[in-house]
Structure 1
Amino acid sequence: MIEPEREQSVRALLPLVRRLARRLKRFVPSLDVDDLVGDGCIGLIRAIDSFDPTRGPQLPEYARRLIVGAMLNGIRRMDPVSERARRIVRDGENQRYALAAARGEVPGAEEMEVRCPGYRRALAAAYRGQPLSLDAPLPAGEALARDWGDDPAQIVERRSERAWLAAQIAALPPRHRAVVLMHYFNGTSLRTVGRQLAISPQRASQLHISAIARLKRRVHAAAH
């Protein structure tokens, strides 16, 4: 595509980028629309540069997938809680609930720190949603949430589950990913998804079922 046509295509599809950013913002209210638009523009440019008019859908539909994919990658990069912190909290919570079931009472923070080193600091990161070095000492006077009636594992998931899910969707095979994004993010019926992907409604339904099964397996694997 020559440069004037490229610039024209970018200008023509910028409203699509903004529209998709607003939709994702409704799905994840904590996101910043400008950040989403910035990531989406990267996907838009990639789509324009790689678009082949002799294959597949028209440019807007082709670009839509790359735009959303770039936005999802941006969400993944913004996940404030490290995988290591999530793993430590998850392991600690498994031990915590096992002890609670055996004793009939929930163990305290000090005991959990002995049983699961790093748990206290990882829990602080989960509550505050900030990246922390798990090997560094806690800052003097740092206050931790002490409501042990809450489920810290759920707090971790509430802060990171959307970003984690976005990463898992982005890792799906191309057609599986396209079906999930078009159906759930764009509100497109599976029949219409099939038509836009040049496949039968039955095949679109199969891809949808397969994609959800893959995501469920990854959720299960992450929880164990």
Structure 2
Amino acid sequence: MYNAAGQLNRDQLVQHFVPLVKRIACHLMARLPASVQVDDLIQNGMLGLLDAISRFEATMGAQFEAYAAQRVRGAMLDGLRENDWLPRSLRSDCRRIEVAIARLEQEHGRAPTEKELADSLGMALADYQKMLQDARGHQLVYLEDMVAERGEDFLERHLVDADADPSKLLEEETFRRLLVQAIDGLPERERLLMALYYEQDLNMREIGEVMGVTESRVCQLHSQVVLRLRARLFGADQEKKAKRETHG
């Protein structure tokens, strides 16, 4: 991969790591709404790959593939952040689910079942599961979660350092601890899904094979996991937002 001058060969690297870009794009697609085009992810990922090639220095002591994967994934996520991929109506529906989850957990002292959530929302189970399917791409943290309309925000309530950069939220020890606690409280099946997806790096199809369900069912369960976690981390804030959207 190096030329006679000992420099990285740009053209060879691009050709060699195109499959890496496509693999990362397909992995992200499983978490995104159907409106997102895989070609857009790949295009952004290729820009990230080119950026990695121009920035990488062998003296950094890191393997290029690991460095490139980080830059590629970052470029794809940056591209997604420039667009709101989740329609406002669906975002509102997701908030309703989060509020229902938080309320039922408080009432029953456990994670509510899908049937209980569907009944709470006044809809058929099949309609609720379709809503989960449509919610692919709903993120664990949005910028709006970090800043309240009035009064102290999430960071002020949960983090000691008032000068902390909101973009560093996931790096903060307090938030990580809260997230770990929320994951520990998930139903066993959903904890397994999280481990297979985020620790074992399996895609939705592979997870379906392990769990004995369809790929679309895995997508539904993943959406529900994200909503459960958001309900535990941002429940009170989301209930206020849901009420504002309902009455205003």
TM-score category, normalised to shorter length: 0.3 to 0.5
TM-score normalised over the length of structure 1: 0.43
Question: Between Structure 1 and Structure 2, whose CA radius of gyration is higher?
Answer: 1
TM-score normalised over the length of structure 2: 0.40
Q: Quick one: higher RCO (CA 8 Å, sep 6+), 1 or 2?
A: 2
